Amino acid sequence: MRTSQYLLSTLKETPAHAEVISHQLMLRAGLVRNVASGLYTWLPTGLRVLKKVENIVREEMEKAGAIETLMPMVQPADLWQESGRWEDYGPELCRLQDRHERPFVLGPTHEEVITALLRNEVSSYKQLPLNLFQIQTKFRDEIRPRFGVMRGREFLMKDAYSFHITDECLKETYQVMFDAYCRIFERLGLDFRPVVADNGSIGGEGSHEFHVLADSGEDDIVFSDTSDYAANIEKAEALAPAGERPTATQDLAEVATPNAKTIEEVAALLNVDAKQTVKTLLVLGHAEEGQQAPVIALVLRGDHQLNDIKAENLAQIASPLTFASDEQIKAAAGCEAGSIGPIGLSIDVIVDRSAAHLADFVCGANKDGYHYTGANWDRDFTNYTVADIRNVVEGDPSPCGQGNIVIKRGIEVGHIFQLGEKYASAMNLGVLTEAGKNQTLTMGCYGIGVSRIVAAAIEQNHDKYGIKWPKAIAPFQAAIVPMNMAKSARVKETAEKLYQDLKAAGIDVLFDDRKERPGVMFADHELIGTPTLLVIGERNLDEQMIEVKDRISGEKSLIAIDNVLDLFA
Nearer to a second copy, 72 or 554 (CB): 72
Q: Is the dihedral of CA 532, 534, 539, 540 positive or negative?
A: positive
Nearer to a second copy, 70 or 489 (CB): 70
12, 91, 346, 553: residue in contact with a second copy (rule CB under 8 A): 91
**Where does this chain touch a second copy (CB under 8 A) — which range of 109-117, 186-194, 244-252, 306-314?**
109-117
Cis geometry, peptide bond prior to residue 241 (ω within 30 degrees of 0): no
The angle formed by the CA atoms of residues 172, 177 and 183, to the nearest 5 degrees, is 130
Nearer to a second copy, 72 or 401 (CB): 72
44, 84, 285, 369: residue in contact with a second copy (rule CB under 8 A): 44
Kindly state whether residue 104 participates in binding a second copy, applying the rule CB under 8 A. Answer: yes
Nearer to a second copy, 16 or 143 (CB): 143
User: Which residues, 289 to 328, sit near a second copy by CB under 8 A?
Assistant: none
Give dist(CA 468, CA 51) in Å, integer.
18
C-alpha dist (Å) from residue 497 to 490, 500, 502, 567: 11, 5, 9, 17
Q: To the nearest whole angstrom, how small is the minimum distance from the Cβ of residue 311 to a second copy?
A: 27
Nearest to 57 by CA among 473, 419, 335: 473
**Where does this chain touch a second copy (CB under 8 A) — which range of 135-143, 164-172, 408-416, 468-476?**
135-143
Q: To the nearest whole angstrom, how small is the minimum distance from the Cβ of residue 128 to a second copy?
A: 10
| Start-to-end Cα distance in the chain | 20
Nearest to 163 by CA among 395, 420, 387: 420
- Give the number of residues written for the chain: 569
Kindly state whether residue 253 participates in binding a second copy, applying the rule CB under 8 A. Answer: no
55, 86, 94, 565: residue in contact with a second copy (rule CB under 8 A): 94
Cis geometry, peptide bond prior to residue 320 (ω within 30 degrees of 0): yes
Q: How many CB atoms lie within 10 A of CB 251?
A: 12
Q: To the nearest whole angstrom, how small is the minimum distance from the Cβ of residue 94 to a second copy?
A: 7
Q: To the nearest whole angstrom, how small is the minimum distance from the Cβ of residue 179 to a second copy?
A: 17
Kindly state whether residue 486 participates in binding a second copy, applying the rule CB under 8 A. Answer: no
**DSSP track, 52-68:** HHHHHHHHHHHHTT-EE
Q: To the nearest whole angstrom, how small is the minimum distance from the Cβ of residue 521 to a second copy?
A: 15
Q: Which amino acid would we find at residue 306?
A: L
Kindly state whether residue 99 participates in binding a second copy, applying the rule CB under 8 A. Answer: yes
**Please, which residues bridge with residue 300 across strands?**
279
Kindly state whether residue 139 participates in binding a second copy, applying the rule CB under 8 A. Answer: yes
Q: What sections of 139-213 are H helices per DSSP?
A: 167-187
Q: How many CB atoms lie within 10 A of CB 292?
A: 10
Query: What binding mask, one character per residue, do residues 22-41 give for a second copy by CB under 8 A, x or -?
Result: -----------x-xx--xxx
**Where does this chain touch a second copy (CB under 8 A) — which range of 99-107, 172-180, 414-422, 423-431?**
99-107
Kindly state whether residue 192 participates in binding a second copy, applying the rule CB under 8 A. Answer: no
Kindly state whether residue 143 participates in binding a second copy, applying the rule CB under 8 A. Answer: yes
Query: What binding mask, one character per residue, do residues 149-188 give for a second copy by CB under 8 A, x or -?
Result: ----xx----------------------------------
14, 63, 121, 471: residue in contact with a second copy (rule CB under 8 A): 121
Q: Which residues contact 450 (CB under 8 A, 6 or more apart)?
A: 50, 53, 54, 57, 135, 155, 156, 157, 158
Nearer to a second copy, 76 or 84 (CB): 76
Q: Long-range CB contacts (< 8 A, 24+ apart) of 32-39? A: 32/148, 32/149, 33/9, 37/145, 37/153, 38/142, 38/145, 38/151, 38/152, 38/153, 38/154, 39/152, 39/153, 39/154
Kindly state whether residue 282 participates in binding a second copy, applying the rule CB under 8 A. Answer: no
Kindly state whether residue 16 participates in binding a second copy, applying the rule CB under 8 A. Answer: no
Q: Which amino acid would we find at residue 167?
A: D
User: Which residues, 68 to 87, sit near a second copy by CB under 8 A?
Assistant: 68-76
Nearer to a second copy, 94 or 318 (CB): 94
- The alpha carbon of 431 is separated from its chain's Cα centroid by a whole number of angstroms, namely 35
Give dist(CA 467, CA 475) in Å, integer.
11
What is the binding site for a second copy (CB under 8 A)? 1, 5-7, 9, 33, 35-36, 39-44, 47, 50, 65, 67-76, 91-92, 94, 96-99, 104, 106, 113, 116-117, 120-121, 127, 130, 132, 137, 139, 141, 143, 153-154
